């Protein structure tokens, strides 16, 4: 299937260039979209060291929330909000978590 082929090609590309951030991000996005969250988390964390991409921090926050770590999710969303304060989905997630009694 196409998804399996895409994953295979991304993995092959990473074998050639294991520190290539766009390839890591694309594979992480693929895993996130197909709900392979452990693999997505591992790759996002690998490329989130510079903390400059709010989308990566936001998605990592979503993964941590799904894994039950509300504190880490909130921390990552706060970092994402600092990078992009006008992004409504970040603010909404923070507010929903706080209203639900999380952190």
Q: Is 43 helix (H, G, I), strand (E, B) or coil?
A: helix
Per the structure, the count of domains in the chain is: 2
Q: Report the distance separating Cα 26 and Cα 6, nearest Å.
A: 10
Measured CA to CA, the distance from residue 27 to residue 51 in angstroms comes to 18
CATH assignment of the domain containing 34: 1.25.40.10
Residue 64: predicted pLDDT = 97
Same domain, 39 and 88: no
- The CATH number of the domain where 84 resides is what? 1.25.40
pTM for the full model?
A: 0.85
Under a CB-based contact definition with an 8 Å cutoff, are residues 23 and 10 in contact? Answer: yes
Planar angle of CA 47, 44, 73, nearest 5 degrees: 125
Per residue in 55-76, pLDDT (tens digit) is 999 999 999 999 999 999 999 9
pLDDT band at 102 (very low <50, low <70, confident <90, very high): low
DSSP structure class, residue 78: H
Q: How confident is the model at residue 50 (pLDDT cuts 50, 70, 90)?
A: low
Same-domain status, 68 and 31: no
Q: Same structural domain for residues 60 and 14?
A: no
């Amino acid at each position: 299937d196409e998804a399996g082929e895409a994953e295979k090609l991304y993995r092959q590309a990473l074998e050639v260039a294991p520190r290539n951030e766009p390839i890591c991000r694309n594979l992480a996005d693929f895993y996130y979209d197909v709900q392979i969250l452990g693999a997505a988390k591992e790759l996002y964390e690998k490329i989130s060291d510079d903390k400059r991409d709010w989308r990566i921090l936001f998605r990592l926050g979503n993964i941590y929330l799904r894994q039950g770590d509300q504190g880490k999710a909130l921390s990552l969303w706060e970092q994402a909000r600092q990078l992009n304060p006008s992004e409504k989905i970040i603010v909404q997630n923070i507010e929903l978590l706080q209203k639900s009694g999380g952190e």
